[in-house]
Amino acid sequence: MTAPHGRWGTPVRLGRVAAERYGSGVRWLRVGRREVVRAIALVVRDRDWRTPDPLRLRIDRRDGALTLRGVTAVGAGELAWSFRVAATAGGLDAHARLTALGDVDVNRAGLVVLLPCATCAGARFAVRHRAGGRTSRGRLPVDVAPHQPLLDVATLELATRDGTKLSLAFDGDTFEMEDQRNWLDPTFKLYNRELALPVPYRIADGATVEQRVALRVDHVGRGAAPRPGPRRGRVPALGVATAPGRVPEGAAARACAALGASGVTHRADGTAADAARAGAFARAIGAGLTVEAIGAAAGHAPAFAAQAPARIALYGVGDEAAQALVRDLRDATAAGGTFSDFVMLNRNGVPAWARRATFALCPTVHARDDRSLVETLAALDDVFARARRVAGGRPIDAGPCSLRRRLVPRTGLPAPDDVDPRQHEAIAAAWLACAIAVAGARRIDTFCAFEAAGARGLLADGTPLRATRASSVFAALASAQGRPLVLLGLDPARGAAFVVDGTLWLVELSGRARRLGTSRPALHLAATRWASRRVGQPVAGYGIATLPAGSAIAGWTERLAAAWTGA
């Protein structure tokens, strides 16, 4: 990924390290033009793993240091905290101090360090452990690791794939690492407090927690992390999602037919009436029905059987019960995996009775800001590649997708606060276009996008339903289901380029308008429809332009794609 230069946060110079103040930390830490660390920040996670925003935030910049002071409400109490990061001869020193005002129950409170997977996957490491002071060596995983790659970290030395050498020293708690690609974040995260310990834990009224991390950059590499060449595949079969109480009917269903979806994935509540509505909607749009049955809802096979679903995805039921349901619904293909994040499929695999593998996609599990949402696109290729290996030859059904978490991972119940205000904006359409392109390049079999309609949907509420940018993207790609696709490049800091059935797609991902750099005629996604624009008209932030690429990818196509994505 291209290291950003003052694009999204407030530029900060800390000795030889340039960064951006972003939220409660610093992100995109660079020496010269080389990104060495994605972020160092202070993070507070409540008992439900939510990240509450500070009630107050004060910023002080002086003497080569940045100090943030804030107060964050957690339950009935508050945490008053400070985060100071200062330049040192070799790099940076970050210090966090948190004091509880009232008893505070948290799942995490302290420093985190994010390392970019683009350069750190496969990096050589040496770790000195807190317990006994022993040292272990190895390489960080290239494949998405289902469990923590590193435990009990006191110091970490890394030699990255681009030749950079750096070290991190931690104090104040035990730190360990997880592979955040499991949740679509393209980073390795070093965090305080072992996950094996029970949560939530209490910081008592008046108690103070202090932590420190020292970053030293010993050498800045001049090499480049390897970029994948063009990936060839096909546009997957595309579907839409529905849920109890959110199944379009009548004129709304007929409007959804224009999307061109080949499948409907319906989260069932187990009742015959709910199943009938889902079946009627699938028939109205000419799509196959997948019933998603979670926990107790899976015990109502007759309600599903009457709708003759093409597939049934079963979650939260024992193997014997699942096998009985598969027998009862003999005309439906059984799918298994997880209704939640990829991490659960990565850790648990696919049940023996399942003939297809499934997992959902959500780009805002750990952070909801625009840049974090777009950066998840950098993890998708690794996730789909790993899913292929976990599936063991089974077809893969990716999705449903949701900009906010649709279900609580532990229970499968609807998640609170599951509507994202950006659902019908350009950023949602840009993310969806790129996600479909990466899925196609990795030969994912089916891709279920957002819900069909409503606040979480491709079409917006109204009479009639209103088109959105995402619905225009979906319909355009749905018209090419099964057709050849070539992913030419993707950099979340710049853009993506891919060819679908002779048409070059250029997706803007920096959030700022950019010129195409060609005089060839192009269509732009203007508002909710494709329109011709005059030559030289810029592509809007998170906008999309398409150009005829011909039956073969010509040299100009590759050059334009390389310039667009920074390859």
Q: Which residues contact 87 (CB under 8 A, 6 or more apart)?
A: 14, 15, 16, 17, 64, 65
pTM for this predicted structure? 0.95
Q: Is residue 1 part of a domain?
A: no
236 and 145 belong to one structural domain: no
The reported pLDDT for the residue numbered 520 is 85
Tell me which long-range contacts 9-18 makes (C-beta under 8 A, separation of at least 24).
12/61, 12/66, 14/64, 14/65, 14/66, 14/85, 14/86, 14/87, 14/92, 15/64, 15/87, 15/88, 15/89, 15/91, 15/92, 16/87, 16/91, 16/217, 17/87, 17/91, 17/92, 17/215, 17/217
Answer yes or no: is 4 within a domain.
no
Q: Identify whether the C-beta of residue 182 lies closer than 8 Å to the C-beta of residue 341.
A: yes
Judge whether 110 and 91 are in contact, CB under 8 Å: no
| Whole-number pLDDT of residue 521 | 86
**In a shared domain, residues 510 and 446:** no
For the chain, give the percent of residues with pLDDT over 90: 84
Question: Do 258 and 206 lie in a common domain?
Answer: no
Query: Whole-angstrom Cα distance, residue 216 to residue 29?
Result: 12
Residue 1 scores a pLDDT above 50: no
Please state the rounded mean pLDDT for residues 536-562.
Answer: 86
**25-34, 184-193, 299-308, 483-492: range with lowest mean pLDDT:** 299-308
Q: How far is the C-alpha of 193 from the C-alpha of 563, rounded, in Å?
A: 43
| Domain of residue 431, CATH code | 3.20.20.80
Instruction: Grade residue 75 by pLDDT with cuts at 50, 70 and 90.
Output: very high
What confidence tier does 551 reach under pLDDT thresholds 50, 70, 90? low
For residue range 235-279, list pLDDT tens digits in order: 999 999 999 999 999 999 999 999 999 999 999 999 999 999 999
Q: Which of 46, 48, 104 is nearest to 76 (CA)?
A: 104
Angle at CA 441, nearest 5°, toward 440 and 445? 35
Determine, yes or no, domain membership for 2: no
Mean predicted lDDT score pLDDT of the chain: 94
Whether residues 153 and 252 fall in one domain: no
Task: Express each pLDDT in 15-39 by its tens digit.
Answer: 999 999 998 999 999 999 899 999 9
Averaged over 361-388, what is the pLDDT? Answer: 96
Weakest-pLDDT range from 54-68, 334-348, 551-565: 551-565
pLDDT at 552: 65
pLDDT bracket for residue 225 (50, 70, 90):
low
Range with lowest mean pLDDT among 5-9, 159-163, 390-394, 474-478: 5-9
Question: pLDDT value at position 215?
Answer: 98
Based on its alpha-carbon atoms, the radius of gyration of the chain, rounded to whole angstroms, reads 24
- Domain range for 251: 231-487
Encode pLDDT of 35-51 as tens digits: 999 999 999 999 989 89
Confidence of residue 224 (pLDDT cuts 50, 70, 90): low
pLDDT beyond 80 at 172: yes
Q: State both tokens at 76.
A: 């009935």
> How many domains would you assign to the chain?
3
φ, ψ at 172 (rounded to 5°): 105, -15
Same domain for 474 and 509, yes or no, is no
Average pLDDT over residues 331-343: 96
Mean pLDDT, residues 418-424: 97
Residue at which a domain ends, from 487, 515, 547: 487
Decide if 405 contacts 365 (C-beta within 8 A): yes
Q: Give the pLDDT confidence score for residue 191 in this predicted structure.
A: 98
Does residue 185 fall inside a structural domain?
Answer: yes
The dihedral formed by the CA atoms of 75, 81, 87 and 92, expressed in degrees to the nearest 10: -40
- Clarify whether residues 529 and 423 are in a common domain: no
